[in-house]
Amino acid sequence: MNDLEINKNTTLYLPDSSGDIEIDMWAEESGNNSAYVSFEKLEKWVASIREQIITVAPVDLTRVEEMLENKDICSDCGGECCKVMPGSCYPSDFGLPGDFSMLDKALKSGKYCIDWWDGDPREGETDFKDDECYFVRPATKDKIGVKYDPSWGGECVFLTEIGCELESVKRPLNCKKLEPVKNGRCILHDNTGKQDAAIAWLPYSKKLKRS
């Protein structure tokens, strides 16, 4: 098996793993900006390295989310964005990396569903072999209880007449990062849309995959 080239801008994720492998030490030991690490060496760090390794662009799954809510603007608007499509969730919205209890509870409630990006959401990458890359989002009001829903469009299940049912801190990261603007052209920050959500969920693809 060929060695894997890594550098300090690469994060390695193991399927079904709740964490990532720190590689900075290998790059530093080599004295270069990158290093070649054998799969045999990785096995010493993680006993379950037998399966395919997925390399993804760095995504900070545990960053502190900056709240961009503006209740005055959103109240005047009436939640037009929420009526078009629910925002995308990130693993950190469910306490991941960690155990899956929050995610399992959310999916069992019927108010969250599993959507997907067709193919590999990472541009120019080819090591993801599945046809669909899954991510989690709130359900639409016409699809409550539907676990797998790739449809686009529909009012978010959490939208009420007085705003979002969820507390600000419990909303999807995609929603937290949407800055309200009076003209309705809200600004999405930090690349937290559907494609980037699919990338963030790559380490958990087998957990979300349809049986």
Q: What is the tally of structural domains in the chain?
A: 2
Same domain, 117 and 28: no
Q: Using CA atoms, how far apart are residues 112 and 106, in angstroms rounded to an integer? A: 6
Domain housing 35: 4-56
DSSP letters for 59-127:
--TTPPPPP---HHHHHHHTSHHHHH-PPPP-GGGGT-SS-SHHHHHHHHTTSEEEEEEES-SSTT---
Per-residue pLDDT tens over the stretch 115-161: 999 989 998 887 777 888 999 999 999 999 999 999 989 999 999 99
Please give the share of the chain, as a percent, with pLDDT higher than 90: 43
Same domain, 40 and 136: no
Split at pLDDT 50, 70, 90, the class of 68 is: confident
The residue-averaged pLDDT of 54-65 equals: 44
Same domain, 77 and 38: no
Q: pTM of this prediction? A: 0.68
Contact indicator for 199, 9 with CB cutoff of 8 Å: no
Would residue 63 count as lying in a domain?
no
Would residue 64 count as lying in a domain?
no
Which pLDDT score, from 0 to 100, does residue 71 have?
83
